[in-house]
Amino acid sequence: MRRRNFLQILAAAGALGALPPAALRALADEGAGVSVEQLPPLEGDLTLYLGRGEGGLYENVLEAIRQRNPKLNLRVRTGPTAALANTIVAEARAGISRADLFWAVDSGALGLVAEEGGGHVLPEDITGQFDPLFSYPKWAPVSGRIRTLPFNTERLTADRVPDDIMALADSDLSVGWAPAYAAFQSFITAMRLLEGEQATGDWLRAVSRRARNYAGELGVVMGVERGEVDLGFANHYYTLRLKSGKPDAKVDLAFTEKDAGCLLNASGVMALSPSDTAINFIRYLLTREVQSYLATEAYEIPMARGMGMPPGLPPRDSIHPPDINLTRLADLRPTLDLMRDVGVL
Amino acid sequence: MKRFLSSMLLITACAAFQASPAYANGEIGEHVNDLEAHIDDYTGEVRWFLDEADTIVDRYESKPESADPAKLIENWEAVDFHAAIETSFVPVYASIWQGIFGVHDGIKQGKPVAEVREQQQALEEAMWQALGAVKLAAKYQAEQPVASDTSLAADPVATLSEVREQLDRVVAKYAERDLEAATSIVHDTYATRFEGVEGALIEQDAALVEDLEKDFNVTLPLRIEGGKVPVAEVKSVVEAMQVKLERAQALLREAEQNRRSVF
């Protein structure tokens, strides 16, 4: 949906009154993003459940919001994303509502809460900020990470890397992977949902014959860089970070097209209470300042439309992730069963 | 050394009382939540334990077949002081186990009394050092309120402090000869703590990350495997990792200071 169309729909729905005029002007300005300067101050009590992620940078964002809003009493409970999602569901079943917001590194956890009836439908000025592929009624994606194929630049050139993830099974390239890693399992879940169990099982079997296991995906990228394997499967930011610390690293990124190999998954936030403060807090996370902070400092992909990609990634419109409901990635059990059956886990 | 102990205790005491970690030796007991009130009991236990150890070694000296070194382990597992030091300062806790097994194995293997006495001496030193550490931890515990549920998550530097603390536990578990626990702590620490911060660290020093990756995934697990090497060897690998982790913390601290602000 183009922004102008989006604004017309908002106007028709009467939703524009929810935002100050300056913010509306920013929305009308294609590509600018809303600035924090245009948002109302946050006041009152707010409890946020935060699934841990990105080594403290999310906390930096929260601290900055706190400092900017002295009348906001922000309480934060941190923990593993899945555990917090289960807590929210359990609290809801017990008739308790402790959290006003849930910021999760894993969209599957948001899906779990939403499926159980948790979360409030977000105003359209929020949901309309995203590419339709990433627009969900009850939660807003904040920042994303894309699956990539890091390859060793001394062993391969980009044109030798297939742009179809399924075709990799028929190539003779050696591969590094981290099957025990959650991001890898989400990638296989996406493949299972897009290509089916049989094709995914066949792919795993074929690739495993030329695969080397690593404990984590940074390890995969480092293994690729050392030339232990031709290429690997990893989220994009490991390569960008390695190249930041070692600019001459012999590794570059390749992307597949519209398949699980370039799955774009996202952290996201949902409002568990309908208060204005909770909704405005979500708007803060989507401001150009926060989005650009997460892009430059954590190499995460801004999910609000019109924001630039992290340094080192190609422009957003040259990357074509698959059309998949991210909340379905929580359906991990069949993936784990399949990986065990095939013997890669 | 005293200063080092103080700063380490500040870290470990804070960590110990913000969470209730599981330990391999069963119930921890409520007493660890009020160390200060139990210092006299702990002191009595240390004296009793060392007297008993002395009796065992005396017996070994006079009538070797009458000495029962397994009693040392039983006695250590029976005292509350065991949990007090385990939750307060793991490095010394590891030294105690090292001393206990030094005496135990010396007797079992029929080593000369002088060698067993040497081990007994090391055990005594570790026990008194441990009592000092618990006293210091008691002081910090009294001064440090328990962290509330609303505190922010640990930043990468704090996470690396947790990593260092967990590595001390690895030595402790190896010294206890609980190889499964030692190995599992290494893997868990890598997967749930170190792995989460190495992305930030690699931006600062890629070679350091590469080095630590190897330590976590190869060097340390290989030393632990089979339980064949002396505790000192595992300890030395961990100490080398601690130095690297300290450098990692300094780098991350500096990077955080130079980080742009959000707004």
Helix axes B113-143, B2-18, angle to 10 degrees: 60
pLDDT band at A15; cut points 50, 70, 90: very low
Under DSSP, the state recorded for B193 is I
Burial class (CB within 10 angstroms; exposed 0-12, middle 13-18, buried 19+) of B160? buried
- The token pair at B254 is 């500096």
**pLDDT of the residue at A82:** 83
What is the count of residue pairs from A and B with beta carbons less than 8 Å apart? Answer: 91
Q: Is the ipTM of this complex over 0.90?
A: no
Min Cα–Cα distance to chain B from A261, Å: 21
**In terms of CA atoms, which chain B residue is nearest residue A226?**
B210
Residue B134: which residues within 8 A CB-CB, separation 6 or more? B35, B39, B42, B81, B84, B85, B88, B89
Claim: this prediction has a pTM higher than 0.80: no
Per-residue pLDDT tens digits for A220-230: 999 999 999 99
Under DSSP, the state recorded for A309 is P
**pLDDT of the residue at B29:** 78
| A142/B contact by beta carbon, under 8 A | no
pLDDT band at A175; cut points 50, 70, 90: very high
- Using the beta-carbon criterion (under 8 Å), do A55 and B156 form an inter-chain contact? yes
**pLDDT of the residue at B148:** 36
From chain A, pick out residues whose CB is under 8 angstroms from the CB of B207. Answer: 246
**In terms of CA atoms, which chain B residue is nearest residue A236?**
B199
- Residue A8 predicted with pLDDT over 50: no
**pLDDT of the residue at A2:** 37
Min Cα–Cα distance to chain A from B213, Å: 8
**pLDDT of the residue at A51:** 86
Count of alpha carbons within 13 angstroms of residue B195, beta-carbon side: 21
| B163/A contact by beta carbon, under 8 A | no
- Residue A25 predicted with pLDDT over 70: no
- Residue A216 predicted with pLDDT over 70: yes
Distance CA B184, CA B174 (A): 11
Per-residue pLDDT tens digits for A298-316: 899 999 988 999 999 999 9
Parallel, antiparallel, or unpaired: how do β-strands A101-104 and A44-51 relate?
A: parallel
Buried b (16+ CB within 10 A) or exposed e, B102-141: bbbebbeeebebeebbebbebbbebbebbbebbbbbbbbb
Parallel, antiparallel, or unpaired: how do β-strands A211-213 and A175-177 relate?
A: parallel
Residue B14: which residues within 8 A CB-CB, separation 6 or more? B140, B144, B147
Q: Do B16 and B146 meet the contact criterion of CB atoms below 8 Å apart?
A: no
- Using the beta-carbon criterion (under 8 Å), do B153 and A290 form an inter-chain contact? no
From chain B, pick out residues whose CB is under 8 angstroms from the CB of A238. Answer: 199, 202
The residues in A 29-58 lying below 8 A from B, measured between CB atoms, are: 36, 50, 52, 55-56
From chain A, pick out residues whose CB is under 8 angstroms from the CB of B262. Answer: 60-61, 64-65, 289-290, 293
At residue A306, φ and ψ (nearest 5 deg) are 90, -5
Smallest Cα–Cα separation from A301: which of A341, A245, A262, A344? A262
- Residue A1 predicted with pLDDT over 50: no
**pLDDT of the residue at A104:** 92
Residue from the list B150, B202, B260 with its beta carbon closest to the beta carbon of A218: B202
From chain A, pick out residues whose CB is under 8 angstroms from the CB of B263. Answer: 36, 64, 68, 289
**pLDDT of the residue at B145:** 46
- Using the beta-carbon criterion (under 8 Å), do B196 and A55 form an inter-chain contact? yes
Distance CA A266, CA A283 (A): 16
Count of alpha carbons within 13 angstroms of residue A53, beta-carbon side: 26
**pLDDT of the residue at A178:** 93
| B191/A contact by beta carbon, under 8 A | yes
Count of alpha carbons within 13 angstroms of residue B114, beta-carbon side: 0
| A286/B contact by beta carbon, under 8 A | no
User: What mean pLDDT, rounded, does chain A reach?
Assistant: 89
**pLDDT of the residue at A53:** 62
Mean pLDDT score, A38-55 = 88
**What are the mean pLDDT values of chain B's consecutive 10-residue runs (263 residues total)?**
45 41 56 90 96 96 94 94 88 91 95 96 94 89 54 70 94 94 93 86 93 92 93 96 98 92 94
